[in-house]
């Protein structure tokens, strides 16, 4: 096995010999096959150009949506700061409630105590 490998590389591969090897492989297929293949290369270049046009459009759309995303981020930050802890964003964690909108933990309202009858279910009592 090792001898075979040594035989393969016995002849030094000069740049000239390498060029001969490449030319021999490249000459293997006929003129018609080469023409058909070159037509496909040309078609592929056209398709790649089409993809480039679409990618440019995507880039323009990404840039176009950015101001709106920025506005949403600013609005969301304001809403988080002024959060009213809407009912559909509240989750009961047994020992407290959590608002999924602002990520705040809120203590459970003591609705059963007579001294705080004005406290309704779901109201923020931690602030
Ligand atoms: Zn909240």
Of 14-23, 32-41, 80-89, 111-120, least confident by mean pLDDT is: 111-120
Across 1-127, the runs of DSSP E, i.e. the strands, are 90-92, 96-99, 105-107
Give the distance (Å) from ligand 1 centre to CA of residue 86. Answer: 7
Confidence of residue 116 (pLDDT cuts 50, 70, 90): very low
Bridge pairing between strands 96-99 and 90-92: antiparallel
Q: pLDDT tens digits for 4-53?
A: 555 666 678 999 999 999 999 999 999 999 999 999 999 999 999 999 99
d(CA 92, CA 98): 6
Give the distance (Å) from ligand 1 centre to CA of residue 120. Answer: 16
Give the distance (Å) from ligand 1 centre to CA of residue 83. Answer: 4
Looking at residue 11, what is its pLDDT?
A: 78
Looking at residue 9, what is its pLDDT?
A: 63
Q: pLDDT tens digits for 48-72?
A: 999 999 999 999 999 999 999 999 9
Give the distance (Å) from ligand 1 centre to CA of residue 67. Answer: 25
Q: Is the pTM of this model over 0.75?
A: no
Looking at residue 124, what is its pLDDT?
A: 54
Looking at residue 3, what is its pLDDT?
A: 47
Alpha carbons within 13 A on the beta-carbon side of 122: 9
Give the distance (Å) from ligand 1 centre to CA of residue 73. Answer: 16
Give the distance (Å) from ligand 1 centre to CA of residue 117. Answer: 22
Contact 85, 102 (CB under 8 A): yes
Give the distance (Å) from ligand 1 centre to CA of residue 70. Answer: 21
d(CA 68, CA 74): 10
Give the distance (Å) from ligand 1 centre to CA of residue 93. Answer: 14
């Amino acid at each position: 096995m090792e001898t075979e490998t040594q035989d393969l590389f016995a002849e030094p591969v000069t740049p000239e010999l390498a060029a001969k090897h490449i030319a021999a492989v490249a000459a293997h297929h006929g003129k018609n096959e080469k023409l058909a293949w070159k037509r496909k290369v040309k078609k592929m270049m056209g398709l790649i150009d089409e993809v480039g046009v679409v990618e440019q459009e995507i880039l323009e759309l990404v840039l176009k949506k950015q101001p709106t995303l920025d506005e949403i981020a600013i609005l969301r930050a304001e809403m988080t700061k002024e959060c009213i802890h809407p009912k559909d964003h509240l989750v009961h964690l047994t020992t407290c409630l959590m608002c999924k909108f602002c990520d705040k933990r809120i203590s459970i309202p003591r609705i059963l105590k007579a001294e705080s009858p004005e406290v309704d279910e779901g109201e923020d009592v931690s602030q």
